[in-house]
Every structure is written in C-alpha cells, then in structure tokens.
Structure 1
Amino acid sequence: MYSRNSRITSKWVYNFIVFTILIGSIRLWSFVYIPDRVFDFFEFAIVFITIFLLANKWSKLKRKDLLFRKNVKYFILIPLISSFGAYFYHKQEFYWSLIELRIIFFWLFYFLLHAYDISESKIIKLTVKIGVIWALINIIQQFTFPFYLFRIDAGAGGEDSIDAFIREGLLRFRISGQQYGMFLVFFSFYHFLKTRKKILILYVIIGLLGFYYYGTRQFLFGILIGLVICAFLVRGSSFHFSLLFLLIGGGLLIYNMDLLFGSLIKKSNEQLSSEDYIRFLSADFYLNQFWPKDDWFSRFIGNGQSQNLSLYGKEMNSINSDLKFFSSDVGIIGGYSKFGVFYVANVLWSNLKGIFYTYKLQSRRYLILFFVYALMLLLLSEYYANAAVIPFYCIIFYLVDKANEQAKSKI
C-alpha cells in the first residue's frame, strides 16, 4: 500500500512540475502584474530543476529509442557555439551570451518527459487546457479594454493608450502561448472528424476566435490551411464527413470573407504593394548585410544571441529602433543570422523527420500538422530558441516518440 501511494504521490509531483514548467515558460500568459525579472529568475530555476531531476535518470535515457535525441542536442549545442560569433564579431563577453542563452536548456524538458514517462493523456489534456485559456484571454480582453491582465508589451503610444493596442481593427495583446492554441484547434478538429463529438467543434471555434483576435495574419491563415490538410488525414466515412464539413465551412467563410478578414486582407495588400515593405528589407539585411566582411566562417557559427546590456545588445537595439529591422520578423533568416547554417539545417531536419514518422502512424496522425505548419511559416516565424515555445515542441516530439513506440510494439 505504501509503495503504491508513494508512486501515486511521485507521479502527482512530476505532473505538477511539468505544469509549472509550461506555465512558467509562457510567463503565465504574459501576466502584467508579475515583473519580467521574476520570470527571468524563474527561467533559471526551471533550468536547474530540470538538470537536477535528470541527473539520476540519464542512464535510463540511453536505453530509449528517441527519434529526436540528436536534434534536441543540436538545438542546445549550436546556439552555445554561436556565442563565439557574438564574442569575435560583436565583442560580447561569453557570460552575457550564457545569460541570454539560458532558455535553450529548456530543450532538456524533452528528456525529462521521457525520463519520468509522463502520461501522454495527461500532457495532452494539459496542453489543450493551456490553449483554451490562451484563446479565452484573447477573446475576453477584446471586450474588457481598457481593463486587461495579460499583455507582452506596450508598443507605441503609451502603456494604456488605444494606439498602443489597436491594429487592423483589433486590440492586440500578443500574449504568449499561441502554440498551445494551435494544438487546441488541430487536436480538437482531428478528433471531431473521427468521433463527431459536438464539444470538440466548440473547442475548435474557441481556438479560431482566439487566433482571430490575436490579430496576426500568418498564424490565422496557417491554421486555416492546417484545417484543410487535417481533413485528408482521416479515413473511411470520417473522410467523406470531413470533405462535407469543409465544403460547408469553406462556403460560409467565403460568403463572410469581407466581414471577417476584409481589414486584414486590405492591410496585407497595402504592405505587399509597398516598395519598401519592411519585412523584405529586414530579410535582405539579416541574410546578406549583417555579417563580418569577407568572413565566410561566420555563416557557420552565426552572429550569436545579443544581450541587451552588452555592446552587441545596444547595437541590436539601435538597429531595431532606427531601421525597424527585427530578426524575429523574418523567421528562419533571423535564426540563420544568429546561429548559422547548421541551425537552419537542424530546423529543417527536425520538421522533415517529424513529417516522415507521423505520416506513417495509424494513430495521432494530427501530429503531422505541427511540422507542416512550422515549415509553411518558416520564413515568417520560427521559435526553436524561444523560451515560450521550446517546451511545446518538446511535447510534440515526445508524443511522436510515444506513438512510434506503440506502432513498433504492434508489429
């Protein structure tokens, strides 16, 4: 009895730790009343706790067949190597780089999930719940402004100025956790097509509204394309149902296109027709100009991750404020500028591997959507060195591993 109770207690503790890591990594959905320095400290705590918990379990991991073992190790190693680029090309001391790169050790969460065999069903439920909360915050705060509790930054116009929030007719709070919203939509829609449970379509609607009010075009359109792909992942009668559902849903979407997306499309057309569209200029800058002259080796190790208090950080702040060139706006090109060509190769390798293995699965085929989605938006956004997103990718990798294990056991 004692042994059984002890195991139950241990599992509860490990599940709580997983919950804490996930909530901490997204900074409690960007809760405004907790200072960033508290979350910065918490990120260090997450790293140390993860390393401590892995210390006694590392030998167990050696016996496991982990599909993404090498990819995860490279996601840690490659940014660390780039600190040499920050030092030699931008005079940033190594300790500044290590402070800023603390979040890449969040990739150890992948090994932590395997080391303690965290329940797949529990982590899926937790991921869905985080996505639901993210979506509801985006929806509710549209109607409670100027009162709000969750937001990333103030932007231009002052902390509570309407100009600091509004864009394309929507109030943008840009809260962390959109990947969990993506999981909510894809997971719910896939299982709705298979089971036709009405509660699941409610989750899909909540998730889509969350992305609509989030206000970022590429995420919303990427989600919609993902839903179309999702319809082709189911088989049998579910496939015919999914086609009918898509035809009806697509018809309603087209009929209300101007009402729902008129301002977004108009804004997109204005930006694309502008000769000096800032995103293209940023891409050219980080792809071709922001490199040491005649130093081909820099393309391999990258410029490194800047830290705001260093000289390199001040250089980047000047580029951001004066030129409005943000590496985060140009997706994998920004990653290439920071971490070099091997980082790009690892991102592509991880996603192509994910597509290859999930395509063969009989169960959890919806997991392929996260890799396809990542590749679709790669030139606009990539988050493999982002504290809020790394644990999410660890979960996706973990679920693919577990599904692959189950498939092998049936052979």
Structure 2
Amino acid sequence: MFDRKGGFVLPVQLISFSIFFAIVMAYYSWDQSFKVSLLETSQYLLWPLFFFLLHVKVPINTLEKIVMTLGMVYVMLYFFQFSNPSTVYFGKPISGGDEFSEQRGVVRIIFPGAGIFILSIFIAITKITQNSKKKWFYIGFAVLGLIIPVMQVTRQFIAGVYLIYFYHFFKGQSLAKKSIIVAAFVGGTVLLINSDIPMIKGVIETQQRDTKLGEDYIRVQAGKYFLTDFSPNTISKFFGNGPPSWGISKYGKFEERLSNTHEYFLSDVGIIAVYAMFGIFAIIGFILMWYQSFVLDVPKQFVYAKYYLWYLLFTSFTWYSVYHYHYVIANIFALYIYHKSYMDQKKWDLIKNSLIKTPELAKEKYIVEYQKGKNPLKI
C-alpha cells in the first residue's frame, strides 16, 4: 500500500485507511466493540485488494474473462429468481427495505452482485465497437444490459446505464450517424414512456411523486440528517462513525430505530453514507477518483473502466453503489484495470518518445523491458 504512487493509488489509500480507522471511531463514538466493528466492517475491507492485484500483476484479460463469466451467471440466476418470485433464493426477503419486494407495480428484485453485472455490460459495449470476434455475443449481452435495469425498477440504475450507452455509441461518429443515434434514443424513450409496461409506469409514477415532494422527499431529509445531526461529536463528523452493526450493538440499534421511526436508511443516501461511516478523507478519496477518471487517459479497449467509475458517480447520490458489498469487488476491478492500463500506456509513451530523441537509449530500455518478460512496444 505504501510502495506505489500515481494513477489511482492515493484515492484507494485514502478510502482504505478511512475504512480501517472507522473501526476505532465506532468504539470511540458509540462504544461498539472492536470485534463487532471488525465483523461489520469486513464487507468493506476488500479495498486493499487493489494493491495485491498490482503486486501480482494480474493480466487485464484474465479479469475481463472473470467479470464476463460472473456477469453471465448473474443474468441466469436473476432470470431464474424473477421467474420464481414466491421463494427468495438469493439475498434476503427484507434488507434495508427493498432487496426483494413487490412495489411500483411489479416484483422488484435488487439482486446481489449488481456491480459485476454493470462492469460486464460496459465491457460488452466496448467490445462491440472494438469489433471483437464475439461481436454478436456482446451485442446480445449489451441488450440484456438495457432490459434488466428496467426490470429492477431502479431509476438511478436505468438512467446511469442508458446515458453511458448513449455516450459510448454517440462519441466519435459522423454527423449522420449521430443524428440517427439521437433519433433512436429519443424515439425509444418516448415509446417506453407511453408504453403499458408496468415497470415503466411504476418508475414514472414514483418520479412524479418524488418531484412534487421536493425537500420533503424522504431521501433529502435523510441526507440532511446524516450530514448534520447523525454524528454525536465533532471528531466523528471528521473521521466518521464506522458502520453500525444492525440491531446488535447500541450503535446498530440506534440506526435500526432511526430507520423504523423516520425511514432514514444509510443505503438511500449513497456518498453521504460514506461520509457518515468513514469520514471526510474517504470523501476526498472518491472525489480524487472521479476527478482522475475525467483527466487520465485510458486505452480505448479499456474505456469500460472509465464508464464504470462514471456510473458510480452518477448513482452515488441516492444509491449505495459507491460502498456496498454488492459493488465493492467490481469497484476494485475497474480501478485496477484503469490504473494498470494507464500506467502501462504512460510507460510505453515514454519509451516511444525517447526512441525519437535518443534512439540508442530507447533501444536499451526496450531490451531491458523485454528481458524482464514484459510485453515490449513493437519497435
């Protein structure tokens, strides 16, 4: 964790240390025991895996295969669960209120492991425009990436995926193709809005209701509370409170009562929940991560990693994608792929530039890289 710099190293360091220190803060501010806090925090402790992946130099191609395989498993199990709604096979019937519920006109299943699915569909759309040998497979998978978010009736999920799809296929096209893409996007949206699909109707009705509520919207109220009144002392407002152990510790019971009496859920306030649990330094880490996703170049074959980070940003205000265990392993995979591809490209750019300026020195660097067993630039 201390032996690297550049890329996404600093953001992941800040987030990792904030999560570890939150164990101390839960004890200090809420008298939650270290054992209970460690067990509750364990679901977030995968972040340092980023440095292990860098250490062992896992090939990006290997991670792509893993993600796509698990993405297909996700799709199969999701449709199996959707076709058998009477029994909850995966997840819990009640977890924060809506992991498996009947609302918005349909059976709504917030299926575990969504982060891997999101990353896999972004890989798919990237492979389509890269003219992959398995193009038709990726086209079919990308179509499922449009259908499943609608079936899950989650507005952030739907909007995040659809906007990134639009951006990916829109950029770099000729004016004529851009016009066709815009017309198709607008036309498809109008058709969906005016359709009789219960899922779409449920989303529209919920959005209209929440818009009318304004500041009275429950998530707005919850966000204000967790920002200003949740922490019991000034130190907690700076370093966070740690994750509550739901219904077990005094801290967990307080959070449980808060959800029962006020319907304030940490999972409903996204990045504000990160602040409440892990403090300001974790927020700085995420801000740096998103800033770098806009300024650091990534090779076009790995642009899906950038899209995934943008999806996290888009959904971070009212969804738990930034921190939840459904997403954290995919967050790490995306950051590792982005970081490794960026650093590799930066290294080869230096070699290429030195070849132009000092051919002999560049040749020596090339030979050294080749002897180390690395993939050398084709010179």
**1:5-404 mapped onto 2 (5 Å cutoff):** 62=3, 67-147=7-87, 149-154=89-94, 165-195=101-131, 197-233=135-171, 235=172, 241=177, 244-259=180-195, 260=197, 261-274=200-213, 276-292=216-232, 295-308=233-246, 309-358=248-297, 361-404=299-342
Q: Identity of counterpart residues, as a percentage?
A: 20
The number of equivalent residue pairs is 341
1:283–1:333 CA contact under 8 A, matched in 2: yes
- In structure 2, how many angstroms separate the alpha carbons of the residues matched to 1:88 and 1:327? 20
Using the TM superposition, give the Cα deviation of residue 265 of structure 1 relative to its aligned residue in structure 2, in angstroms.
0.8
CA–CA distance in structure 1, aligned partners of residues 178 and 76 of structure 2: 26
Between 208-217 and 141-150, report the one with greater CA deviation: 141-150
Confirm or deny: 8 A CA contact 2:119 2:304 kept in the other structure.
no
Give the drift of 1:138: 2.8
Alpha-carbon distance in structure 2 between the residues aligned to 1:279 and 1:125: 37
Q: Which SS does the other structure have where 1:195 is aligned? A: coil
State whether residues 14 and 284 of structure 2, in contact with CA within 8 Å, keep that contact through their aligned partners in structure 1.
no
Structure 2 contact 153–202 (Cα < 8 Å) conserved: no
Contact 1:189–1:200, Cα closer than 8 Å, also in 2: yes
TM-score (norm 1): 0.75
CA shift digits 1:160-211 (9 cap, x unpaired) = xxxx631112212222111122122222223323428333221111122222
Residue pair 1:131, 1:207 contacting (<8 A) in 2 also: no
SS in 2 for 1:172: strand
Q: Structure 1 pair 343/405, CA: closer, same or farther in 2 (3 Å)? A: closer
Tell whether the 8 Å contact from 1:335 to 1:344 is kept in structure 2 after alignment.
Answer: yes
Gaps in structure 2 of 5+ consecutive residues: 353-379
Q: Label 1:130 to 1:349 Cα distance change in 2 as closer, same or farther (>3 A).
A: same
Letter in structure 1 aligned against 2:91:
R
Query: Matched residues in 2 for 1:349 and 1:170: separation?
Result: 39
Cα shift at 1:373: 1.6
- CA displacement at 1:224 relative to structure 2: 0.7
Residue type at the aligned position of 1:306: P
Question: Is there any run of 5+ residues in structure 1 with no aligned partner, and where?
Answer: 1-57
AA of the residue aligned to 1:226: I
TM-score w.r.t. length of structure 2: 0.80
Letter in 2 for 1:177: G
Distance of aligned partners of 1:240 and 1:192 in 2 relative to their CA distance in 1, 3 Å threshold:
farther
- The 1-side partners of 2:316 and 2:96 are apart by 27
1:81-129 deviations in Å (ceiling 9; x for gaps): 2334322322222332222222333112212222222221121122122
Secondary structure in 2 aligned to 1:297? helix
